[in-house]
Structure 1
Amino acid sequence: MATVVVPPRMQPTRLGRGDRNVFTMSDDTPAMKQILETHAPDGRDSGFDVKPLFQIVEDIIHHSTSTVPWITHVTREHLGGLEDRATQNGFSEMLQLLAHPIIVPPRMQPTRLGRGDRNVFTMSDDTPAMKQILETHAPDGRDSGFDVKPLFQIVEDIIHHSTSTVPWITHVTREHLGGLEDRATQNGFNEMLQLLAHPISTVSCEISCKCSGGSDGHSTTKSICVTLSGYSWDAKVVIALAAFAVIYGEFWLVAQLYLSSPLAKSVAYLKQLPETLERVDLLKPKLESLIKLIGAMLDVTTCILRFKELPLQYITSNTPAMATANAHIPAAVYWTMRSIVACASQIMNVISMGPEYISLSTEVGWELSTLEHKLKNILELLQNQLDLCNKHIGETRSEETYQTIVRVMSTSHIDNQKVLKILIYGNDDQPPLHYGTEKRLVGVEELRKKVVLLFISDLDLNLDEELWLLQSIYEEKIAQPSHPESQYEIVWLPIVEFDRTKPLDEEKVHQFHSLKSTMKWYTITHPSLIDPAVIRYTKEVWRFTKKPLLVALDQQGKMVNQNAIHMIYIWGSLAYPFTSSKEAALWEGVGSWNFSVLADNIDRALLDWITQDKFICMYGGEDIMWIRKFIEAARIVAQAANIHLELIYVGKNNLKEKVRKNNVMIVDEKLGAVIELGFVSFFWARLNSMWHSKLQLKAGDSENDPIVQEIKTILSYDSGEQGWAVISRGTVEMTRAKGDIFLQAMLEYNNWITEVAELGFVHTIDKYLRDKLHPKHHCTRLILPSLTGDIPERVVCAECRRPMEKFIMYRCCVD
């Protein structure tokens, strides 16, 4: 516990020898003679009786301790008769005559501004007046051991509760209000109040006396600065505000309790407030100006305190924004104190002048509004510097966090906990993850020693592609939990960039929760748990742009695949444990390009046809007229070749509505089979994943890799305007061509049909396509979605092996 240091002037009152002797002195002692010499009655009280005033004093003394059980009270017959006395002849006049010497010294006059006062509002911070204030500043570290923010929060409580019952006053909601009991239990809170009680009381008395005595605003403010010379600037302004809050709070306490408390009513009569309180609505214009100025004082002080709270490990006094703020904070403190003096003067005017205050000129309001304008300008300047400081701190902290992430991700660990905890922010109050299957909150500890797939995406997820794919393999995992391929977990990390000083907007929150509700795997509980430095890491190191990533971490938290989503598109759960070496091994197992690699799992019937060694024609495109002509020609050729040809339509990428309509027509016109609309997207996404998988393995656009060349060929068909077709038998025999060329080959079947018996149907048509119909001139397009920014600089044409020109295309397909 901190040691309480009592200021030098504040000591328990003790009686010296002279003080003790004075109690026995006779009335003719020099001391008493001095008192008698002050007595010069002029008859001003000859017209009234002071006994009713004395009875009010007795009322106050009585009611002050009436609720204290261990105090014995003397019953007095007149108690409680304040209303009766108020109706006595001469009572009100007597109070009016005596209110002035009771409340304020004779010099009290309504505060008015002279020419010098008006000029001071425009003074710069290097004027002689401001230099006088700076000369009073001699901090000695007395406030270095405590934080004045809890005291400031008490001030805010007082200001708020003082006028909370006045309907026409607008209040600013502050989140800490009402937490006095909680603050009282904070370490050092009571010690801080004990240390500051004396300066608060001193300044409060100083404000009351000087404002009541008609002292000008600058002189009073300077005097307060002298009293508080040993404190830091932020402590000065908070202590001064606390001193003002005592005056302000006492005034409104009497006003609020006037009708319900005998004690408050008696005090109000002594202050001559009843008539003023009964006409409080008439004070509205002046009180509104007062309230606005007080609000500006609180705002400026809040801003000053926020500078004090800035973390020094990320910012120094030499930082430009901080240096600028430090240069302006003394002026901010001065003008806040100057405003305190002005507000206190107005409260004193209300007390001393009563109803007369209502009729004062608008000059009073001009002073308050001018000070408010001054404080708002100061606040704007300080807030701009605070924003720059916070930006600097954020950038410094983010860079530090980013470098920590880089270091942790490149270091070996015994498990994945350190990696997961630096990627997913968590605290002791609430676990950071939600497990969708069991609808419960969990910590990252639940993922210890597991392969983890980090599903990284924004909130614009394609439910029909990436999400559907992950749901498929995760449901398989849940159904077969003991299988070796099921020993992994998925964690969704949504990448949402937003201003961290403000809450995430409601639309994005709704979008996040809507997506989270569809996921059976682990998700973070809120996007804010992903630090901006983590977002930067996903973009700069893992090259996340728009399309989702599935980063694979092994049991030790090591990144083993930068994007395992391609593996899952191609091989599903067989991709476990999703490492790059497993990806390479799976490609080695493929061997050469064949029809089963192209078709795989897109349709159950298609797999059966491959197994049964049937002739299969897979075709795509959007032109229904070409489709009708091609199907008609293909059936004629199949009949002529005496084969059974199965026909299946796989549509076109990114044209769902057009493909849906084509599917309906093909089925209605009995033109062959179609694959489900959802599998159309999967078919093309899988082909794109093959492309990116090869690139990820550094196979790139190798001219010697036939699989890459065949993938490019099919993708270039889909990139064109016309249809295309592939004919195969089983998994080995296969030929393909663009739609117009294939249709021409079918129409010219008489030129090659006789060779079918010798070469076979697929080889014969393939030979005719290559030898007779191969175009001398071509224009091949290859449109590749930029999944992760891995588009190579050099791509060779699948037709002629020349380097292709590279263009950037922006496309919006609304079908």
Structure 2
Amino acid sequence: MLANSNHHAMLKQVEATHAPDGRQFAVKPLLHIIEDIFQSVTGFIQVYIYIYINQQGSTQAQLALLDDDTFQSGFFDMLHKYLSFTIHKVSGEIHCKCSDGGDAHATTLRIFNILGKYAWDAKAVIAMAAFALNYGEFWVVAQLYRTNPLAKSIALLKQLQEILELDDNLKSEFEALSKPIKSMLNLVKCIVEFEELPSQYISPETPETMTATAVYWTIRSIVACSAQIMGLAGMGHDYIVSTTESWEISSLANRTDSVHTHLTDQIYLCYKMIDEKGHIETHQALVKLNETAQSDNMNYLKALIYDKDDQQPLLDGSTKNRVSLNVLWRKNVLLLISDPDVSLQELLILEQMYQESRKHPTRTESQYEVVWMPVVDRTNPWTEKMNEQFETKQGKMPWYSIHHPLMVNPAVISYFKEHCHFKRNPILVVLDIQGKVVNSNALHMMWIWDSLAFPFTSAREEDLWSKEVWRLELLTGSIDPAIPVWEDERKFVCLYGGEDMEWIRKFTYKAQKVADEIGLPLELVYVGKSNSKETVRRNMATIAVERLSHTLQDIPLIWLFWVRLESMWHSKMKHNHCKNDETDPILQEIMTILSFDGSNHCWAGIYRGSEMAKAKGETILNSFIDFPSWKKNANDISFIPALNQHLLKDHSPHHCNHLVLLDITCTFPERVVCSECNSQMENFIIYRCSN
């Protein structure tokens, strides 16, 4: 209670001196000068002590290392007109009262009286400037004492020669002052930052006396440190810092640290409120811009991408130069939004598609630009290693990208999470030439139809599906240039997948044997598995060495085959409003192959024109083994219809398939039926490593 009472009485005395005249000063330039002084002094003390005690090398050569850049600022006119006299007056007050050992609290109040007309932050900065002036003058003389006759004469008049002949005891006393000085400087910077905050964001619970308290303990610490410095300077080796003085300095440093922590917490809360309001305002602005007709896309892009202070927020992937948003003016823009660690295989496939479009720049379907917007977790610090990884990935992109991830406003990220269902996997948000979002995620379209999907709108997506039928070309796209050739030659194309190498050997042998037996023009292509990269890589090598069949050329193309199928499912579900339409033949075919892949067994499908047959590995292998029993039927009604009849007869009534779906961007369908037996499937949650 006594401590609270004393604190309250002290604050009343301080507030009684506070009579600001309303003038505002830019205190930050003065604060920069103060910081420059203390940084220079700190460095000089270390070098000076080292030189004197160790007597190594030329003093002049060592001191030359301390030269700082000259501080330049237009602030000096105001300093001369309004602040210089006050700084000298406070400096004199400190010097006078601390020299005769006056009461620290009384001296502090006298300084408050001198600073009565200034705002709280100006009081703290001016007092700190006065302290820096005294402290800096002392060390300027110390710096030049050994090399400059004028400095040596001044030192003699000020009786500083003894203190400048440093020994270990004095060294420790000066070094002990570094902590309270650092604490004071940190608190002053915090006061300045706090006073700059908009008043409407200051928490109502924040007491009005908080800043006054912070300024008081700053000036009180200045007085205590000044008294000790003057004692050391005046008496040199004869001056012994008392236990009381040492305790007071330490106590004041702890006090200023405590006040600094409390003030920092308030600043954090204020910034949090500002961020929350900024989130709301940015979100509302983006919604309004998207709903309001615009003449071009600049307003929307500027709301999305940091474009202030004349900075060039984009990096041009083709030239590696920074550019402004104007390069996107009235262009269709595809925003690639992802984590910074977006997979290289996704980027590789996207790059191939993008580069292909650049080969024909005048074509309608090439009239778009891609911009990568990396999304980072702001709760984790951005490290140098993360920056290097980001720049490495950014350097491989041929399109535009945000120059730095922290230039993406967190409110924009929240907007995309809410309106475009961004989670972790990449999405491709499409803006038309007016900046309107015409597709919340066109990445599925890009995987399925490539540039044919231009202009990548939801309407275009629906139109493409309305004209599609299930066919081999839709299933494989352009992942293997040989497949369209085989189709033109009316060959049978067998796609097969899975991990079991023994099954692969048996199946390819039996399939080729049957084909040879009846003269069937059959081509087999291994398409691997969606989530077993290393196993598939080994299988591809074995298949090539043993010449069992064709394979897709590399792992990224294996990945593309499966991601296209998943994209078809997502796209279909999007336009079916997340309903599993059992009458949609394309959707059923997609789900069949996805369920084969999810069942962790091998599978195969044979295609020719509009005919197709497919089954799980053991089922279709047994059909080929049992070929003599249905060979006649194959000759009578053709191969694929006969195979389908045999597969239907051989169908197992037991457990059928798994359907594993990634990156669900809509709600789960209430009902999904098995693609083989048409029974309703049960749903489970599966966690599986993506490597």
Q: TM-score, normalised by structure 2?
A: 0.91
User: In structure 2, do the counterparts of structure 1 residues 710 and 372 end up closer, same or farther at CA, with 3 Å as the change threshold?
Assistant: same
1:714 equivalenced with 2:596 (yes/no) = no
**Letter matched to residue 182 of structure 1:** Q
CA distance in 2, matches of 1:461, 1:402: 25
Tell me if the contact between 1:423 and 1:530 (Cα under 8 Å) persists in the aligned partners: yes
CA distance in 2, matches of 1:484, 1:505: 42
User: In structure 2, do the counterparts of structure 1 residues 636 and 253 end up closer, same or farther at CA, with 3 Å as the change threshold?
Assistant: closer
Structure whose CA Rg is larger: 1
CA displacement, residues 442-462 of structure 1 (integer Å, 9 cap, x when unaligned):
211111121111111112222
Return the match for 1:451 from 317, 332, 338.
332
1:782 equivalenced with 2:659 (yes/no) = yes
Tell me if the contact between 1:459 and 1:494 (Cα under 8 Å) persists in the aligned partners: yes
- Where 1:727 maps in the other structure, the secondary structure is strand
**Letter matched to residue 228 of structure 1:** L
User: In structure 2, do the counterparts of structure 1 residues 156 and 757 end up closer, same or farther at CA, with 3 Å as the change threshold?
Assistant: closer
**Letter matched to residue 37 of structure 2:** I
User: In structure 2, do the counterparts of structure 1 residues 129 and 613 end up closer, same or farther at CA, with 3 Å as the change threshold?
Assistant: same
Return the match for 1:507 from 353, 373, 385.
385
CA distance in 2, matches of 1:798, 1:169: 84
1:727 equivalenced with 2:606 (yes/no) = yes
Q: How many Å apart are 1:345 and its aligned residue?
A: 1.4
Q: How many Å apart are 1:787 and its aligned residue?
A: 5.4
Other-structure match for 1:621: 498
Other-structure match for 2:111: 224
Other-structure match for 2:86: 199
Q: How many Å apart are 1:181 and its aligned residue?
A: 4.4
Tell me if the contact between 1:695 and 1:790 (Cα under 8 Å) persists in the aligned partners: no
Other-structure match for 1:40: none
CA distance in 1, matches of 2:122, 2:542: 81
Tell me if the contact between 1:452 and 1:552 (Cα under 8 Å) persists in the aligned partners: yes
Other-structure match for 1:109: none
- Where 2:109 maps in the other structure, the secondary structure is helix
Return the match for 2:164 from 277, 297, 312.
277
Q: How many Å apart are 1:125 and its aligned residue?
A: 6.8
CA displacement, residues 578-628 of structure 1 (integer Å, 9 cap, x when unaligned):
1122222222222x3223322332222222221111223221111112222
CA distance in 2, matches of 1:139, 1:380: 27
CA displacement, residues 214-251 of structure 1 (integer Å, 9 cap, x when unaligned):
22212222222233333333222222222323322332
Tell me if the contact between 1:619 and 1:726 (Cα under 8 Å) persists in the aligned partners: yes
CA distance in 2, matches of 1:152, 1:649: 69
- Where 2:72 maps in the other structure, the secondary structure is helix
After superposition, residues 242-261 of structure 1 pair within 5 angstroms as 242-261=129-148
- Where 1:165 maps in the other structure, the secondary structure is helix
Q: How many Å apart are 1:304 and its aligned residue?
A: 0.9
Q: How many Å apart are 1:429 and its aligned residue?
A: 4.2
Tell me if the contact between 1:615 and 1:727 (Cα under 8 Å) persists in the aligned partners: yes
**Letter matched to residue 134 of structure 2:** I
CA distance in 2, matches of 1:283, 1:696: 77
Tell me if the contact between 1:453 and 1:491 (Cα under 8 Å) persists in the aligned partners: yes
CA displacement, residues 351-394 of structure 1 (integer Å, 9 cap, x when unaligned):
4323311x454443232222212222222222222222222222
Other-structure match for 2:16: 136
Number of residue pairs aligned between Structure 1 and Structure 2:
672
User: In structure 2, do the counterparts of structure 1 residues 351 and 467 end up closer, same or farther at CA, with 3 Å as the change threshold?
Assistant: closer
Other-structure match for 1:761: 639
CA distance in 1, matches of 2:601, 2:296: 53
- Where 2:562 maps in the other structure, the secondary structure is helix
User: In structure 2, do the counterparts of structure 1 residues 279 and 726 end up closer, same or farther at CA, with 3 Å as the change threshold?
Assistant: closer
1:474 equivalenced with 2:474 (yes/no) = no
User: In structure 2, do the counterparts of structure 1 residues 238 and 179 end up closer, same or farther at CA, with 3 Å as the change threshold?
Assistant: farther
Other-structure match for 1:353: 235
After superposition, residues 490-501 of structure 1 pair within 5 angstroms as 490-498=370-378
User: In structure 2, do the counterparts of structure 1 residues 621 and 291 end up closer, same or farther at CA, with 3 Å as the change threshold?
Assistant: closer
- Where 1:721 maps in the other structure, the secondary structure is coil
CA distance in 1, matches of 2:370, 2:614: 39
More helix, by proportion: 2
1:663 equivalenced with 2:540 (yes/no) = yes
Tell me if the contact between 2:11 and 2:213 (Cα under 8 Å) persists in the aligned partners: no
CA distance in 1, matches of 2:86, 2:431: 61
**Letter matched to residue 343 of structure 2:** N
Other-structure match for 1:166: 45
After superposition, residues 538-577 of structure 1 pair within 5 angstroms as 538-577=416-455
Return the match for 1:695 from 548, 558, 573.
573
Tell me if the contact between 2:228 and 2:241 (Cα under 8 Å) persists in the aligned partners: no
Other-structure match for 1:602: 479
Q: How many Å apart are 1:791 and its aligned residue?
A: 4.5
Return the match for 2:364 from 484, 504, 508.
484
Other-structure match for 1:238: 125
Q: How many Å apart are 1:147 and its aligned residue?
A: 2.7
**Letter matched to residue 733 of structure 1:** E
CA distance in 1, matches of 2:9, 2:68: 39
Return the match for 1:379 from 250, 253, 260.
260
Tell me if the contact between 1:457 and 1:547 (Cα under 8 Å) persists in the aligned partners: yes
Other-structure match for 1:593: 470
Tell me if the contact between 1:286 and 1:365 (Cα under 8 Å) persists in the aligned partners: no
CA distance in 2, matches of 1:652, 1:125: 76
Other-structure match for 2:72: 182
Q: How many Å apart are 1:635 and its aligned residue?
A: 3.3
Tell me if the contact between 1:497 and 1:532 (Cα under 8 Å) persists in the aligned partners: no
- Where 1:646 maps in the other structure, the secondary structure is strand
Other-structure match for 1:145: 24
- Where 1:367 maps in the other structure, the secondary structure is helix
The gaps in structure 1 that reach 5 residues or longer are 1-119, 171-176
- Where 2:133 maps in the other structure, the secondary structure is helix
CA distance in 1, matches of 2:115, 2:563: 72
CA distance in 2, matches of 1:627, 1:603: 20
Q: How many Å apart are 1:532 and its aligned residue?
A: 0.9
**Letter matched to residue 636 of structure 2:** E
Other-structure match for 1:87: none
**CA RMSD, 1 decimal:** 2.6
CA displacement, residues 440-487 of structure 1 (integer Å, 9 cap, x when unaligned):
3321111112111111111222222x2122211221122111222211
After superposition, residues 55-134 of structure 1 pair within 5 angstroms as 123-124=3-4, 127=7, 129-134=9-14
Other-structure match for 1:63: none
Other-structure match for 2:625: 747
Tell me if the contact between 1:457 and 1:495 (Cα under 8 Å) persists in the aligned partners: yes
Other-structure match for 1:342: 224
User: In structure 2, do the counterparts of structure 1 residues 746 and 561 end up closer, same or farther at CA, with 3 Å as the change threshold?
Assistant: same
Other-structure match for 1:644: 521
User: In structure 2, do the counterparts of structure 1 residues 640 and 269 end up closer, same or farther at CA, with 3 Å as the change threshold?
Assistant: closer
**Letter matched to residue 697 of structure 1:** H
Return the match for 1:409 from 272, 283, 290.
290
Return the match for 2:155 from 268, 273, 280.
268
Q: How many Å apart are 1:531 and its aligned residue?
A: 1.0
Q: TM-score, normalised by structure 1?
A: 0.78
Other-structure match for 2:98: 211
CA displacement, residues 160-217 of structure 1 (integer Å, 9 cap, x when unaligned):
33454222699xxxxxx9676432x14xx52354223333333323222222222221
